[in-house]
Amino acid sequence: MRRENTAAPLIPGRCTLPELKRAAAACRACPLWERGIQTVFGEGSLDSRLILVGEQPGDYEDRQGLPFVGPAGRVLDQALAQAGIDRSAAYVTNVVKHFKWVSQGRRRLHTKPNAREIGACMPWLDAEIELIRPRVLVALGSTAAQALFGKQVLVTRDHGRPLPSDRAPYAIATSHPSAILRTETDEQRQQAMEGLVEDLRIVADLVRKP
Ligand code: SF4
């Protein structure tokens, strides 16, 4: 993708995290700015050793302007707590910063971002990663995993094991918390949650590693 068709020209040089966030608020590098209420930038401290990256904000996140604050965010909070990770010590963000949705009656239903939208938005994520320089980079779900680690990565096969990345010393893919919400039975839900927690325990070990 040509640089000028992405958010890259909008990234301020030598900026702080709040300055980066302010610049992203005005982004119109892809058509999604028209659909979402606002840019939902990442949240967390510059000192975070861990970055968690999801696909895109959902309905709640779009309304509140914060990542992972809806039902999937609550699942993530539970899984992090069970894995012994303090969410406030992590930086949480998404590959795509605007909510892509279609209407169904009064509901706004999530639609997967396409390659053009992901490519256009990646410079924001790369700028966040560059500023924070995390020890561990975690992709939640296949959109984030493939955007960060390549199309060859399959979360179902590659979750929970270190993946090569030049963005951080350790990189891991795991399932997106919303996948747990989509399970049909309590048993499937429990199993999916256990899988996510197991992967996040590996992440916790990597974060604590001296
Ligand atoms: S989704 Fe990303 S690239 Fe597209 S307008 Fe929003 S912030 Fe810009």
pLDDT per residue as tens, the chain (210 positions): 777 789 999 999 999 999 999 999 999 999 999 999 999 999 999 999 999 999 999 999 999 999 999 999 999 999 999 999 999 999 999 999 999 999 999 899 999 999 999 999 999 999 999 999 999 999 999 999 999 999 999 999 999 999 999 999 999 999 999 999 999 999 999 999 999 999 999 999 999 987
Q: Is the pTM of this model over 0.75?
A: yes
Nearest CA residue ID for atom 4, ligand 1: 30
Distance 194 CA to ligand 1 centre (A): 33
Ligand 1: does its nearest atom lie under 6 Å from the Cβ of 93?
no
Distance 60 CA to ligand 1 centre (A): 18
Atom of ligand 1 nearest to the CA of 7: 3
First to last CA, the chain: 38
Q: Where are the domains of the chain?
A: 3-208
Give the Cα separation of 168 and 201 in Å (integer). Answer: 18
The rounded Å distance from CA 205 to ligand 1 centre is 33
Which strand (E) or helix (H) includes residue 174? strand 170-174
Classify domain 3-208 at the CATH topology level.
Answer: Uracil-DNA Glycosylase, subunit E (3.40.470)
Rounded CA-CA distance 183/192 in Å is: 8
Task: For residue 117, give the ligand 1 atom closest to its CA.
Answer: 4
pLDDT in tens, 54-75: 999 999 999 999 999 999 999 9
26-to-6, 160, 170 alpha-carbon distances in Å: 13, 36, 32
